């Protein structure tokens, strides 16, 4: 409380972190072997899953954070593709008075953590609408991904 009073006394507002708007930027669902794929005895599927996070500054206080996911689900026996799904799900976040040293962590950890459950629901529903059981993505530890990315950048810088 002392820090908050000191900040207010100095005429500065505290940090603001708020989800403003979520939206689907791009969505693609391909079912290349329909309807035959529904009549074969399905084995345990093979899942090829890619996840990417991008962000860009919109104006002084607003940032767009985009989660890009590509999932290709194939039959392990016949290697036929069940479906391919690509989505870019984004949100605009109000980030005000966030210290510069914390901004990258907020954009790469906190923002995707808030966005992910909604992206997961969209992906699940699209797979159901495509005629399959729900495709439930495992929870993602965005902190671990961010720390791994920082470690890779540090190794590249040392070489």
| Beta bridge partner(s), residue 18 | 94
In order of their start, the domains of the chain are 14-135 (3.10.420.10)
pTM for this one? 0.85
Residue 155 is predicted with a pLDDT of 86
Distances from the Cα of 101 to the Cα of 49, 94, 107, angstroms: 31, 17, 11
Tokens of 158: 């040392």
Helix (H) / strand (E) element for 143: namely helix 142-158
Tokens of 43: 């084995």
- pLDDT tens-digit series, residues 74-117: 988 888 899 999 999 999 999 999 999 999 999 999 999 999 99
Helix (H) / strand (E) element for 50: namely strand 45-57
- pLDDT tens-digit series, residues 108-131: 999 999 999 999 999 999 999 999
Q: When comparing pLDDT for 112 and 7, which is higher?
A: 112
> Would you call 94 helix, strand, or coil by DSSP?
strand
Kindly tell me if the per-residue pLDDT of 46 is higher than 60.
Answer: yes
Residues 71, 78: Cα–Cα separation, whole Å: 18
């Amino acid at each position: 409380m002392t820090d908050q009073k000191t900040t207010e006394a100095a005429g500065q507002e505290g940090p603001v972190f708020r989800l403003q708007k979520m939206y689907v930027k791009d969505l693609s669902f391909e079912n290349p072997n329909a309807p035959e794929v529904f009549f074969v005895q399905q084995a345990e599927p093979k899942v090829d899953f890619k996840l990417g996070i991008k962000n860009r500054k919109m104006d002084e206080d607003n940032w767009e954070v985009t989660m890009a996911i590509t999932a290709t689900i194939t039959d392990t026996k016949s290697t036929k593709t069940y479906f391919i799904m690509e989505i870019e799900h984004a949100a605009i976040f109000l980030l005000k008075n966030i210290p510069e040293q914390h901004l990258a962590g907020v954009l790469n950890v906190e923002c995707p953590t808030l966005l992910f459950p909604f992206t997961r629901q969209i992906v699940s529903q699209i797979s159901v609408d495509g005629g399959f059981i729900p495709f439930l993505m495992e929870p993602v530890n965005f902190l671990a991904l961010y720390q791994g990315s920082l470690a890779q950048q540090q190794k590249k810088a040392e070489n």
